[in-house]
A = this chain, B = another copy of it.
Amino acid sequence: MGSTIRIIQYGIGPIGAAIVRLITKKENAEIVGAIDIDPAKAGQDLARVVGLEKDLGVVVSNNAEEVLRIPADIVVHSTASYLTDVQDQLTRCLAAGHNVVSSCEELSYPLRKYPEISRTLDDVAKQSGVTLHGTGVNPGFVMDKLALTLSSVCQSVERVSVTRIVDASKRRQPLQKKVGAGMSEKEFRAQVEAGRIKHHGLPESAGLIADGMNIEVDEIAETIEPVIATGDVTTEYLEVKRGEVAGVRQICKGTLRGEEKLHLELQMYVGAHDPADTVRIIGMPDLTLLIPGGTHGDLATVAAVVNAIPAVVQAQPGLKTVADIPVRYYGVF
């Protein structure tokens, strides 16, 4: 791209911190501001907060309004999963004249669930002449962008299915707990009921595919079921006995008059034998695409967000989804 891209980091949790570390490796990128509401982070140099040795010369602030006055090309936003929780944050960024790329799952495709908020955000972005974009690995890549890209060599598409099998044993402790590993089935179902066991983004991916490829569906619905351990599993962090919950199997279906058109399935459990991402298109021609081992969740989400920066800076104003934006790795911004 040539000139340096000036970046404000909004949200410095585990993903935000990894984003910052990756950005600091880029030649033509400079972090000019950092926002986090955590009192333990505000006032410190950003480097300290994200675990880098050399000072970045950027002090983390909990005053978003102040930081957003800094001249910048883009805000990298990573604070929460629900659009309603971040709508005001995003609006403030856009109104301040900044492009935004966010890891907020519901922002990846808000048009179906939140048509009015989508319109409002699109309007604000266009009025400010900037772009708003949500991405990540899932949603953002495995269950939507990859399937959309594969479909470009199809003359017709009848049905799409994507299965992502993640071996939770190899992931962070919070993820192992989040999928319910070690719980009884009853406890698991109570946690699902309470909304605590749930991966965000499957309906968003379904919407991206349905609307992107013009596959008519009259219902998009999700189910969340436990995967029961068929043997004992021991990970670095916990033990799961045979018969206990090993993890989660979440399925999102898009149907038309009861007929399945889209099938998105996420299995995340400890001890998964054949982790892989698989995209199948039934059409002309039928196509299957495999990523053996699967795309690593955290690494890939951070990469997807950072790699989106140059494309979002260059994109036309408005709310843009992964269907609108070409994606690739940029060695140099």
Contacts and interface: CB of A to CB of B under 8 A. Distances in A.
Interface residues of A, number: 51
A141 interface: yes
Nearest to A293: B288
Contacts of A303: 152-155
Interface in A277-333: 283-285, 287-293, 295-296, 299-300, 302-304, 306-308, 316, 323-332
A137 interface: yes
A327 B145 CA distance: 9
Given A287-B291, A307-B152, A328 B323 contact: yes
A289 B291 contact: yes
Contact of A153 (B25, B300, B332): B300
A223 B316 CA distance: 41
A221 interface: no
A118 interface: no
A149 to B, nearest CB: 5
Contacts of A149: 145-146, 149, 327-328
A157 interface: yes
A49 interface: no
Interface in A144-162: 145-146, 148-157
Interface of A: 22, 25, 137, 141, 145-146, 148-157, 212-215, 283-285, 287-293, 295-296, 299-300, 302-304, 306-308, 316, 323-332
11 contacts: A137-B153, A148-B326, A150-B291, A153-B299, A154-B329, A156-B329, A157-B331, A285-B295, A285-B299, A289-B290, A290-B290
